[in-house]
């Protein structure tokens, strides 16, 4: 449905997207995962025909996004990062306007507007001015705007930003419900979001693809690294001595001296290893009193950090 | 065509829910009503005085064309008001959409840049037409109450001139609104551009050199004066037509460049 080949976009010297290639199959939900400034928004803007690429091609439903821009735009529903709302219109008037410029005929317009409001659960606000709505409702109006012409492809830039947890779950359900009949690309920097909604994930960093896989595989790969936090009475040197020789331990970080001579230490394990019992045994075996031991799985920030530092390491190794 | 109408309809709705259109129309009608009365009474008074003087001292009776003078002064004033008020009408046309991010919606919809530009332009032209409707009451009053009654051809020419002048200002204003996200900057730029076109002929007023003539031709208000005298000159039509075309063309180009520039 969507084919992206060697897509590059530079703003002056700054390369936002660097030779990106991927495909999205019909009815699939593809997640774009990456830190801010990774090139997610730029890629989406190229796909929606908002801006042309510097080089490379992108095709949506067989149409080139640059040469057949209008045909592509007819088939795409797009929710930008900031929902593009005319705040002095009512919800119904706004959706009617969007349906008109998206080319929905007068016979179907009313029905499509009603459907889009129902799907996003905003029918009760249909006659409210958009500026009077809360952030969450505004986001949902933005989402219904992307659905109103029943497009084949839906592109959502951070669709759950600014929503409360209950609304986030609703929106994820909605997006999942749209799959099959629609092809969807959504961007996010929240890992659980990707694993809950997407069939496939593209991790982007510095405008290039860092990984493409199913969320299950990625989570296993990325979350494998476990971290254990312990609080021990004793000297730093003795602890290091006890822990760094353990098999499966990758990194030992002394964080800070806790109260009354105890120190807090974070121990990072290699992927797939559960080192909690070994750590406990090693500490106690050295005769050091153990006060606390907690398993922490790596947060997304850590994973990004890992990915980006690994990239840098690879680069310096290659050079 | 349908999308053009959708944009037009949205713009008209926007004008009438925001206070700006009401403020501009209200200001325009108050000022134009006041000046109509002032011009009318002043011209009638001086005509009567002239009549009295003629009776006292004798001399050739030269009747004053009261309606003609009122039309000239009155429409001259309306033109000046347009130059001041219309930049405020166009200042937000594109800058606000850019700021709110709705430009991204328009530019990713199956609608051409030209349709966006024309839809918005026609909406603003319709608004000034609506603004002018109440002023027709004064002309109707003159048609029935003055002797000789004003020639309706002159009135039509004056209204045509006013619409052309207004449309030219709106076209320039919408272009300058599309180059910035800041409404204030857009209105200041438009004022400056209009002011330049207004006073451009001062330098060449007395000379009949080529440059003087050229500057005179470029003056936005000089062509308009002809219309208020009932003269519809082809060169004036071409002048305003070119300004409108140039403004709209530049706006379309400006939207296009937004796609290439924006980070």
In the β-sheet with A208-213, what is the strand arrangement from edge to edge? A76-79, A153-157, A183-188, A29-33, A200-205, A208-213
| Shortest Cα–Cα distance, A74 to chain B (Å) | 5
pLDDT at res. A219: 64
pLDDT at res. A318: 45
Nearest to A76 among B100, B108, B111 (CB): B108
pLDDT at res. A309: 55
Average pLDDT, chain B: 88
A50 at interface of B, judged by CB pairs closer than 8 A: yes
Q: What would the pLDDT profile of B197-243 be if each residue is shown by its tens digit?
A: 888 877 666 667 777 778 878 888 888 988 988 889 899 999 999 99
Best interface-test mutation with A: which of B110, B257, B260 has the largest number of A CBs within 10 A? B110
Alpha carbon of A105 to those of A287, B10, B115, B131: distances in Å? 79, 17, 17, 32
Cα(A132)–Cα(A113) distance, integer angstroms: 20
User: Considering only CB atoms, which chain B residues are within 8 Å of A76?
Assistant: 108
Which two structure tokens, joined as six digits, stand for B105? 């919606």
Look at A98 and B105 and tell me if their CB atoms are within 8 Å.
yes
User: Considering only CB atoms, which chain A residues are within 8 Å of B263?
Assistant: 11, 14, 16
Q: Is A207 left (phi over 0), alpha (psi -120 to 50) or beta?
A: left
- Kind of pairing between the strands at A200-205 and A208-213: antiparallel
Question: Which of the two residues, B255 and A316, has the higher pLDDT score?
Answer: B255
- The per-residue b/e assignment along B66-95, b for 16 or more CB within 10 angstroms, e otherwise, is bbbbbbbbbbbbbbebbbbbbbbbbbbbbb
Which whole number is the average pLDDT over B84-93?
Answer: 91
Q: What would the pLDDT profile of B130-166 be if each residue is shown by its tens digit?
A: 999 999 888 888 888 777 777 888 889 999 999 999 9
Whether the predicted pLDDT of A312 surpasses 70? no
| Shortest Cα–Cα distance, B4 to chain A (Å) | 8
Q: At what angle do helices A106-119 and A135-147 cross, to 10 degrees?
A: 140
User: Helix H segments across B146-221?
Assistant: 152-178, 183-199, 210-218
Look at B14 and A86 and tell me if their CB atoms are within 8 Å.
yes
| Residue A133 DSSP class | S
| Residue A98 DSSP class | H
| Shortest Cα–Cα distance, A120 to chain B (Å) | 19
Cα(B198)–Cα(A221) distance, integer angstroms: 70
Cα(A122)–Cα(A143) distance, integer angstroms: 10
Nearest CA in chain A to B8: A97
Whether the ω angle into residue A269 lies within 30 degrees of 0, i.e. cis, is: no
Whether the predicted pLDDT of A299 surpasses 60? no
Which two structure tokens, joined as six digits, stand for A5? 């080949």
| Shortest Cα–Cα distance, B30 to chain A (Å) | 27
Nearest to A88 among B17, B107, B108 (CB): B17
Cα distance from N-terminal residue to C-terminal residue, chain A = 38
The number of beta carbons lying within 10 Å of the beta carbon of residue B234 is 7
pLDDT at res. B54: 79
Q: What would the pLDDT profile of A55-89 be if each residue is shown by its tens digit?
A: 899 999 889 988 999 999 999 999 998 899 999 99
| Shortest Cα–Cα distance, A69 to chain B (Å) | 8
Look at A85 and B102 and tell me if their CB atoms are within 8 Å.
yes
Average pLDDT, chain A: 82
pLDDT at res. B248: 97
Long-range contacts of A210-216 (CB under 8 A, 24+ apart): A210/A34, A210/A307, A210/A311, A211/A307, A212/A22, A215/A31
Cα(B34)–Cα(B31) distance, integer angstroms: 5
Cα(B231)–Cα(B214) distance, integer angstroms: 20
Q: In this predicted structure, which of A119-128, A308-317, B29-38 has the lowest mean pLDDT?
A: A308-317
B105 at interface of A, judged by CB pairs closer than 8 A: yes
Radius of gyration for the alpha carbons in chain A, expressed in angstroms and rounded: 24
Residue position matching structure tokens 């030209």: B114
Whether the predicted pLDDT of B105 surpasses 90? yes
ipTM metric:
0.86
Which whole number is the average pLDDT over A177-193?
Answer: 84
Confidence of residue A296 (pLDDT cuts 50, 70, 90): low
Residue position matching structure tokens 């296009």: B256
Best interface-test mutation with A: which of B98, B99, B105, B115 has the largest number of A CBs within 10 A? B105
A187 at interface of B, judged by CB pairs closer than 8 A: no
Confidence of residue A205 (pLDDT cuts 50, 70, 90): confident
Cα(B237)–Cα(B161) distance, integer angstroms: 9
Q: In this predicted structure, which of A141-150, B46-55, B127-136, B184-193 has the lowest mean pLDDT?
A: B46-55
Whether the predicted pLDDT of A311 surpasses 80? no
Whether the predicted pLDDT of B245 surpasses 90? yes
A186: β partners: A31, A156
Look at A70 and B13 and tell me if their CB atoms are within 8 Å.
no
A82 at interface of B, judged by CB pairs closer than 8 A: yes
User: Considering only CB atoms, which chain A residues are within 8 Å of B111?
Assistant: 70, 101
User: Considering only CB atoms, which chain A residues are within 8 Å of B10?
Assistant: 86, 89, 97
Residues B123/B8, Cβ–Cβ less than 8 Å: yes
Which two structure tokens, joined as six digits, stand for B66? 């009261």
The number of beta carbons lying within 10 Å of the beta carbon of residue A45 is 26
Residue position matching structure tokens 């990915």: A307
Which two structure tokens, joined as six digits, stand for B261? 């520039």
| Shortest Cα–Cα distance, A295 to chain B (Å) | 42
Whether the predicted pLDDT of A319 surpasses 70? no
Which SS3 state, helix, strand or coil, does residue A156 take?
strand
Look at A49 and B108 and tell me if their CB atoms are within 8 Å.
yes
Confidence of residue A223 (pLDDT cuts 50, 70, 90): low
Whether the predicted pLDDT of A254 surpasses 80? no
Whether the predicted pLDDT of B60 surpasses 70? no
The number of beta carbons lying within 10 Å of the beta carbon of residue A192 is 13
User: Considering only CB atoms, which chain A residues are within 8 Å of B101?
Assistant: 80, 82-84
pLDDT at res. B263: 45
DSSP A243-270: HHTSTTEEEEEEEEE-STTEEEEEEEE-
């Amino acid at each position: 449905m969507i084919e992206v080949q060697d897509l590059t976009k530079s703003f002056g010297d700054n390369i936002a997207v660097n030779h990106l290639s991927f495909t999205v199959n019909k009815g699939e939900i593809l997640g774009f995962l990456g830190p801010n400034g990774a090139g997610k928004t730029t890629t989406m803007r190229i796909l929606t025909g908002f801006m042309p690429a510097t080089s490379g091609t992108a095709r949506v439903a067989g149409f080139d996004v640059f040469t057949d821009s209008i045909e592509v735009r007819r088939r795409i529903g797009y929710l930008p990062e900031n929902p593009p709302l005319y705040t002095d219109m009512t919800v119904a008037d706004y959706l009617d306007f969007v349906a008109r410029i998206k080319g929905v005929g007068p016979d179907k317009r009313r029905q499509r507007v009603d459907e889009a409001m129902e799907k996003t659960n905003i029918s009760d606000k249909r006659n409210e001015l958009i500026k009077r709505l809360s952030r969450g409702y505004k986001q949902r109006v933005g989402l219904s705007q992307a659905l109103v012409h029943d497009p084949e492809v839906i592109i959502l830039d951070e669709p759950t930003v600014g929503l409360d947890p209950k609304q986030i779950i609703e929106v994820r359900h909605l997006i999942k419900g749209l799959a099959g009949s629609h092809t969807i690309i959504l961007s996010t920097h929240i890992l659980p979001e990707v694993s809950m909604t997407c069939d496939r994930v593209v991790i982007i960093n510095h405008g290039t693809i860092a990984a493409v896989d199913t969320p299950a595989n990625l989570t296993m790969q990325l979350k494998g690294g476990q971290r254990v936090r312990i609080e021990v009475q004793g000297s730093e040197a003795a602890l290091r001595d006890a822990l760094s020789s353990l098999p499966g331990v990758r990194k030992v970080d002394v964080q800070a001296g806790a109260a009354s001579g105890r120190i807090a230490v974070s121990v990072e394990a290699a992927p797939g290893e559960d080192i909690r019992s070994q750590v406990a045994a090693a500490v106690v075996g050295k005769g050091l009193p153990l006060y606390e031991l907690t398993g922490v799985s790596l947060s997304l920030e850590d994973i990004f950090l890992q990915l980006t530092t690994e990239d840098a390491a690879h680069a310096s190794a290659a050079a | 065509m349908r999308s053009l109408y959708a944009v037009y309809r949205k713009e008209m709705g926007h004008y009438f829910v925001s206070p700006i259109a009401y403020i501009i129309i209200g200001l325009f009608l108050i000022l134009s009503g006041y000046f109509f009365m002032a011009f009318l009474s002043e011209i009638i008074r001086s005509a009567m005085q002239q009549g009295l003087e003629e009776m006292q001292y004798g001399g050739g009776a030269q009747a004053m064309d009261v309606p003609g003078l009122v039309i000239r002064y009155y429409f001259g004033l309306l033109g000046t008001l347009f130059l001041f008020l219309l930049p405020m009408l166009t200042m937000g046309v594109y800058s606000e959409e850019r700021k709110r991010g709705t430009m991204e919606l328009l530019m990713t919809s199956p609608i051409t840049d030209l349709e966006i530009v024309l839809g918005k332009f026609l909406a603003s032209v319709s608004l000034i037409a609506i603004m002018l409707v109440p002023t027709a009451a004064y002309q109707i009053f003159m048609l029935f109450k003055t002797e000789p009654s004003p020639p309706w051809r002159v009135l039509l020419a004056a209204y045509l001139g006013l619409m052309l002048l207004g449309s030219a200002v709106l076209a320039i204003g919408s272009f300058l609104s599309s180059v910035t996200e800041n409404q204030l900057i857009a209105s200041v730029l438009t004022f400056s551009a209009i002011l330049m076109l207004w006073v451009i002929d001062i330098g060449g007023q007395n000379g009949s050199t080529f440059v003087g003539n050229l500057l005179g031709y470029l003056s936005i208000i000089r062509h308009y004066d002809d219309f208020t005298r009932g003269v519809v000159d082809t060169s004036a039509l071409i002048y305003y037509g070119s300004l409108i075309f140039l403004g709209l063309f530049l706006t379309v180009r400006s939207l296009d460049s937004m796609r290439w520039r924006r980070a």
